[in-house]
Amino acid sequence: MFSNIDSLMHGFGVAFTFYHLVLIVAGVLLGILVGVLPGLGAPNGVTLLLPLTFGMDPVSAIILLTSLYWGALFGGSTTSILFNIPGEPSSVATTFDGYPMARQGRATEALTYAFLSAGFGALVGVIVITLLSTAVANFALRFGPPEYFAVYFLAFASFIAFGGGAPVKTVVSLCLGFGLGMVGTDTVSGAMRLTFDFDQLIRGISFLVVVIGLFGLGELLLTIEDGPEFKGASGRIDPREMFRAAARMPRYWFAMLRGSAVGVWMGITPGGPTAASFMSYGIARRASRRRDNFGKGEPEGVIAPETADHSAGTAAMLPMLSLGIPGSATSAVMLGGLMIWGLNPGPMLFIEQHDFVWGMIASMYLGNVIGVMLALATVPLFAAMLSISFSIIGPIIVTVCLVGAYTVAGSPFDLWIALAFGAVGYAMKKLDYPMAPLILAMVIGDKAEDAFRQSMLSSDGSLGIFWSNWLVGGLVTLALAFLIWPFVAMLLGRRSAAAVTVGTGAESEEKRA
């Protein structure tokens, strides 16, 4: 633990420079803009900015991207409260009580609760990363191909068990991602796979282009269909009310701790910020003495999801750095960025790229403090921006998306792929298919395949290698349990429902008799 503190102090020396502070401020402001504008989001915002970082130092690049991520989370909260428009999927739960508070003339109070609880949740997440990252990385040094496959398998199974959506739909999304990841040259044999005689597919399908289509253009199509009208509460901030709301924050200390715990757990497992915010809101509502006030402007209904949202978004970076397993869609995009910069996420990253890892962790502390201040200061600006007609904002979003897709490889063919996946993203949203598993499978599916094939080669094709020691056996068994659990729970639910129906019918018969 003390070595981690020393490493963190070294990281502050790396991050606390004028250039990096400028990058943090710029990243947070861009992120707030990304979070405020419907049709964009943290995964797409990071994706669009990623090509611009190719010529930057990796430390500076990751500081910029993580700062944009924090800003996007704050921006999504702003529009959820002021306009009842979640700029981020993870901000949907904030609208339940945040917007009613704004309609009651308590917008300043709601925004203060949201930003301060978000900053607290993010701080807890960063502390967890600081304390556990080296231990997790050292433990991962014991991993060979079977252990790595078991971890990847566990990540996929965790999405199925804890992703929050229908398990079958999650499996379909994962399989689609595996298929897309297989396109191009096989890394083991060198053979061409799934290219269908298209020369442009020999290099594979870029996950960046896919993300731009899914998250950017797909969300935009949904926004157009909904016919958005940007009419919200006043974005003016009363400084005196801010201080009064901040003074009342300690009353909700248990809600913040509980939300942080939920968020950290859902961030480390692949549940993600969206599932964490809904789970935290539901737990807070069931546990509160004022549960009848939820949905009508209850402060705890803002604090609980915001704390969980930001702690989950931050904690998702721990498995990404230590194991190469992203815990959210945005960390999956960042994982791809690390590989593009020539860095290999995993335990050796902490040894070979000490400045990178700890500079990034230190920048999280700075980025969240700056994010809270800038989020409060820029509310009037972005509230005015949302009064602009969508007929102006929409084409700007399309242009940014297409420019970002073309920038990835300078290929016109990528523009068609982005447009195609815009339609796919629209269809997946309409049919309620999760997109994060697809991105996860695209990013680490080939790694899982390589680990599996290496394990099979070393064991002469015997699956027993996945139970050759307690570590790999435990991981595989846990993953199989995760795979089975949703279907067992569904079966148990049907049986209990049938029992209730039978019992009700018997009571009715007795009454008739």
Which of 26, 14, 12 has the alpha carbon at shortest distance from 71? 26
Tell me the mean pLDDT in the region 8-35. 84
Mean pLDDT across the chain: 77
Two tokens at 378? Answer: 């820029």
Mean pLDDT value of segment 11-34: 84
Q: What pLDDT does residue 405 have?
A: 75
Q: What is the pLDDT of residue 166?
A: 76
Percent of the chain exceeding pLDDT 70 equals 79
Residues in the chain, how many? 513
Q: What is the pLDDT of residues 216-275, one digit of tens each?
A: 677 778 777 766 554 444 555 567 777 888 888 888 888 899 989 888 877 776 556 766
Q: What is the pLDDT of residue 191?
A: 72
455, pLDDT greater than 80? yes
- pLDDT (0 to 100) of residue 356: 81
Instruction: Indicate whether 206 pLDDT > 80.
Output: no
Tokens of 195: 């290219």
DSSP states of 93-145? HHHHHHHHHHHTT-HHHHHHHHHHHHHHHHHHHHHHHHHHHHHHHHHHTT--H
Task: Using the predicted structure, report yes or no on whether residue 210 has a pLDDT greater than 70.
Answer: yes
* Domain locations along the chain: 2-472
Closest alpha carbon to 39 in 232, 169, 226:
226
d(CA 271, CA 222): 24
> Average pLDDT for residues 152-159, to the nearest whole number?
76
87 band by pLDDT with thresholds 50, 70 and 90: low
pLDDT digits (tens, 9 = 90+) for 472-485: 888 888 888 888 87
Please say if the pLDDT value at position 436 is more than 80. Answer: no
In this predicted structure, what is the pLDDT of residue 426? Answer: 86
Q: Which residue has the higher pLDDT, 282 or 98?
A: 98
Burial 286-304 (b: 16+ CB within 10 A, else e): eebeeeebbeebbbbbbbb
For the record, the structure tokens of 10 come out as 């070294």
Give Cβ neighbours of residue 296 (< 8 Å, ≥ 6 apart): 97, 100
- DSSP-assigned letters across all residues of 147-175: HHHHHHHHHHHHHHHHSSS-HHHHHHHHH
Could you tell me the pTM of the whole model? 0.65
Look at 134-148, 217-231, 315-329, 393-407 and tell me which has the smallest mean pLDDT.
217-231
Per-residue pLDDT tens digits for 482-491: 888 777 777 7
**φ/ψ (deg, to 5) at 166:** -65, 130
Q: What pLDDT does 312 receive? A: 84
Compute the average pLDDT of residues 169-174. 84
Cβ neighbour number for residue 143 with a 10 Å cutoff = 19
Res 463 pLDDT > 80: yes
User: Of the given ranges (82-91, 301-310, 419-428, 462-471), which has the lowest mean pLDDT?
Assistant: 82-91
Quote the CA–CA distance of 425 and 411 in Å, as a whole number.
Answer: 21
Q: What pLDDT is attached to residue 264?
A: 85
